[in-house]
Structure 1
Amino acid sequence: MLFNHPCFLRPARWLVPALAAASIMGCATAPSATATATAPIRVKVFVAAMFEIGKNTGDRAGEFQHWYERYWKDATPITVPGALGPVYCNADGVCGAVLGMGKVNSSSSMQAILLNPKFDFAEAYYVISGVAGTPPQRGTIADVSWGTWLVDYDLGHRWAPEENTPGAPTFMPRKGYEEYRRFQLNPLLVDWAMNLTVDVPLKDSDSARTYRLRYPDTAARRSPAVTSGTHMTGDTFFHGPGMSRQAQYIAKLYGADDYVITEMEAAAIALVVKRTHGTDRLMSLRGAVNFDQGNPNETTLQHLDPAPGETAGGFAETVENVALVGTRVVDHIVRNWGQWQGGVPAR
């Protein structure tokens, strides 16, 4: 009962009156738990990277370092139980974390962060950021791609090619996974992202330029650009022209755009975000650091295990490109929060 609260108990008659008065004043002015509780951080944009090579700053950059140096060099890490690493936030509401590689690793981290009461994601935008592969028919090293669709490569039936009609796909979708296996990202948000970044000057390297010439494809030989298309999520690091054709087959089977990026996390993260806040504010941003198949003069195994000096090159430039492109969108949203807070504005 209310009158059993210590502040309502009558002081003993032997208490000094002044002491009793002080006790009552203390009760009257004691702050409530609600008033002293720390308000959750209102997240405007959350950046999700999958791995960092070493430290967050000062050494060779992985997927997170350029973002960290731009937004969180002075931020205090916030530990989140169940997440791979801490979350960093700045005063503008831009937060980010390394979630881990693969579907299970990344999605479990994302769920732990989304459900943690230290953060308010009710109005947040999301940028899934990382490196990836690309088919030489549609992309090149150091490209940066905005996802239009996220498609799961694994949810279905697959069998050995020798047990199949020669040349036919060795994949059949499994019934019951229709809402889990592909996500169309908000076309208006993709349009905003492309228009804000299509003219970003991208870094390139001599080693990448030389490596591209091993491929006959026009797309593979061009300079890096900002592109868009389907991002294919698979825990299997699939490789070779046959697997690449199968990825394109799956994309078209699901009614998605051309497959342009192979990665390992985005569809799983999208499902977690969809179940909590929806995917209208979700973006997938990937930089191509390898082709998904060898050139015509090498086998798939040779491409997977190249000799020293035979790698694509351009990794450092690509991770920088991803941040150059992504930060332009993040900065625009934060700078114009009044227009973006209620949802993606009309163009």
Structure 2
Amino acid sequence: MPRDPDPEDPIAPDALVLTAAFEDPLDERRPWLERDDLVGALEIPGAETPVYVTDSGIAVTTTGIGKSDAATTVTAILSNPGVDLESTYVVSCGIAGSSPETTALGSVAIADAVVDWDRKHRWDHRSDAAGTDSASEASTEDHSIEERPIDLLAYRPRDYIHRLEEAVVDCALEAARDVDLCEDADARDYQRSYSNAPDAGPTIERGTTVCGDEFWHGPRYAREVQWLCERYGVGPYVTTQMEDAATATALERFGLRERYLSVRAVSNYDRAAPGQSVAESFDGNPASLALGIENAARVGGAVVSELAGADPLGIGSRNVD
């Protein structure tokens, strides 16, 4: 039974693992709760679910899907005196989308940059050119604008990108490369329906993850995402998800972003395969979804253990005088 946090005896985990969902078939939390014995759970006001504590010193909770849920949950935990994160690494771990041209289904990416997809302009330049909102009367002279109806924000006090701490990313990659990734024949068959997908099994990747609340799907929107990443100097993107920019921002506000990491496994591609509808392709298939959840937890577990043991930033309690 979850208990209320105790400010007089706060938990101080080595790592806080954040999953987005906990209900089938998107139960990213289950492998973590089965990995170690639970020694307690805290009911944090404002959090999506309890914060579970394992006997290996890891805390696990679910933020909810999307940026507002993630920001609210993380802020609630950060501001609760019953939780001490001064010696804690924070790891988002779960599934994500990717381009079929980028990597195999079930591959796991360690992010070195998080781009906020929602912070941009989106407009119809055709109405500007023609002086009307009628597409049939609009000028089509500038085809590049027609292909890319987005731009960086005109008022931009900063670039909406989080470049993650290199020492933490490198430590995570070192641990991830020793993980035996699962493969699945059904997921591989589905992957082969994409002619431009690699004919290979899951791999470990490093690169940019893009975060947004918009459920976009298809090559047109993928080109826009790619353009935004290139403008920030972090293209190409490797994964897409819905929480990590919000999590990174919340941690930044509390001065803790340097210990943040994103571990995301590819469960689906961001466009339809030949002969598929968008609706049919959006969630991948059951095999690729299960494979992504499993590989994310496998790699995430190894990464969390390495971060706690190697402590690349020197923030652990054993380093405190």
TM-score by length of 1: 0.79
Q: Counterparts of 2:181 and 2:312 in 1: how far apart (Å)?
A: 30
Deviates more, 1:43-52 or 1:291-300: 291-300
1:262 CA drift (Å): 0.9
Provide the rounded CA distance (Å) in 2 between the counterparts of 1:231 and 1:304: 18
Name the structure 2 match of 1:49.
Answer: 19
Any idea what SS the aligned residue of 1:43 has? coil
- Alpha carbons 2:96, 2:241 under 8 Å: kept: yes
Do the aligned residues in 2 keep the contact of 1:148 with 1:257 (CA within 8 Å)? no
2:12 is equivalent to residue 68 of structure 1: no
Letter in 2 for 1:93: G
- 8 Å Cα contact 2:108-2:295 kept in structure 1: yes
1:295 to 253, 273, 276: 273
What does 1:1-150 correspond to in 2, within 5 Å?
38-53=8-23, 62-71=27-36, 73-150=37-114
2:213, 2:125 → 1: CA distance?
Answer: 20
Cα distance 1:161–1:244, how it changes in 2: closer, same or farther (>3 A)? farther
Partner residue, 1:327: 301
What amino acid is the match of 2:270? Answer: D
More relative contact order, 1 or 2 (CA 8 Å, 6+ apart) = 2
Q: Give the 3 Å change call, closer, same or farther, for CA 262–61 of structure 1 in structure 2.
A: closer
Stretch deviating more after TM superposition (165-174 or 222-231): 165-174
Q: Corresponding residue for 2:292?
A: 318
Paired residue for 1:260?
Answer: 238
C-alpha displacement of 1:312: 6.3
Matched residues in 2 for 1:296 and 1:155: separation? 31
- Confirm or deny: 8 A CA contact 1:151 1:251 kept in the other structure: yes
The CA distance in 1 between the partners of 2:167 and 2:109, in whole Å, is: 16
Per-residue CA deviations over 1:98-130 (Å, capped at 9, x if unaligned) read: 010000011101100111000111121110111
2:136 — aligned with what?
none
Q: Which residue is equivalent to 1:183?
A: 162
8 Å CA contact 1:133–1:262 kept in 2: the answer is yes
- Structure 1 residue 255, shift from structure 2 partner: 1.5
For residue 16 of structure 1, what is the aligned residue in structure 2? none
Q: How does 1:190-205 map to 2 (within 5 A)?
A: 190-205=169-184
The change in CA–CA distance for 1:161 and 1:262 in structure 2 (over 3 A counts) is farther
Q: Which moved more, 1:116-125 or 1:159-168?
A: 159-168
Amino acid at match of 1:237: F
In structure 2, the partner of 1:6 is: none
Helix, strand or coil: the match of 1:42?
Answer: coil
Indicate if the aligned counterparts of 2:168 and 2:307 stay in contact, CA closer than 8 A. Answer: no
- Cα 1:240/1:102, change in 2 over 3 Å: same
Would you say 1:158 and 2:122 are equivalent positions? yes
Residue identity (%): 29
Q: Distance in 2 between matches of 1:256 and 1:139?
A: 17
The answer as to whether partners of 1:51 and 1:62 remain within 8 angstroms in 2 is yes
Partner AA of 1:52 in structure 2 = F
User: TM-score if structure 2 supplies the norm length?
Assistant: 0.85
User: After superposition, what is the alpha-carbon deviation per residue over 1:151-172, rounded to whole angstroms, capped at 9, x for unaligned?
Assistant: 0111111135876744531111
Deviations 1:218-249 (Å, cap 9, x if unpaired)? 53x32111111111001011100011111111
Give the C-alpha shift of residue 279 in structure 1.
1.6
